[in-house]
Amino acid sequence: MLLKVKTLFLPMAIASKNAIRALSTAALPKEEKIKINDWVINYVKVGNGAHHAMFLPGALGTIWTEGKPQVEGFDREKFTLVAWDPPGYGKSRPPDKIFTTDFYEKDAETAYEFMKALNIPKYSLLGFSDGAITSMIHAAKYPEAVNKLVIWGANSFILPNELAMFKKIRDINSWSKRMRDPLIKVYGEERFAAYNASWVDIMEEIYNTNNGNICNELLKDIKCPTFILYGQKDPLVDSVHASHLHTHISGSRQTSHSFEVC
CATH number at residue 92: 3.40.50.1820
Residue 180 domain-assigned (yes or no) = no
Residue 183 domain-assigned (yes or no) = no
User: Is 110:133 a contact under the CB 8 Å cutoff?
Assistant: no
Residue 144 domain-assigned (yes or no) = yes
Residue 167 domain-assigned (yes or no) = no
pLDDT number for residue 234: 85
How many structural domains are present in the chain?
A: 1
With H, G, I as helix, E, B as strand and everything else as coil, classify residue 54: strand
Domain that holds residue 60: 5-157+218-257
Residue 186 domain-assigned (yes or no) = no
Residue 147 domain-assigned (yes or no) = yes
pLDDT number for residue 257: 60
Blockwise average pLDDT, block size 10, the chain, 262 residues: 35 37 59 97 97 98 96 95 98 97 98 98 98 98 98 97 97 96 98 98 97 97 96 88 97 72 40
DSSP state letters, 84-126: EPPTTSTTS-SSPP---TTHHHHHHHHHHHHHHHTT--SEEEE
Whose CA is closest to 152, among 228, 74, 64? 228
92-96, Cβ contacts within 8 angstroms, sequence gap of 24 or more = 92/39, 92/40, 92/41, 92/42, 95/38, 95/39, 96/191, 96/195
CA distance 149 to 126: 6
Residue 175 domain-assigned (yes or no) = no
Residue 205 domain-assigned (yes or no) = no
Cα 15 versus chain centre, distance: 18
* Helices within the chain (DSSP H only): 5-8, 17-24, 63-66, 68-73, 103-117, 130-141, 160-168, 177-187, 189-209, 240-248
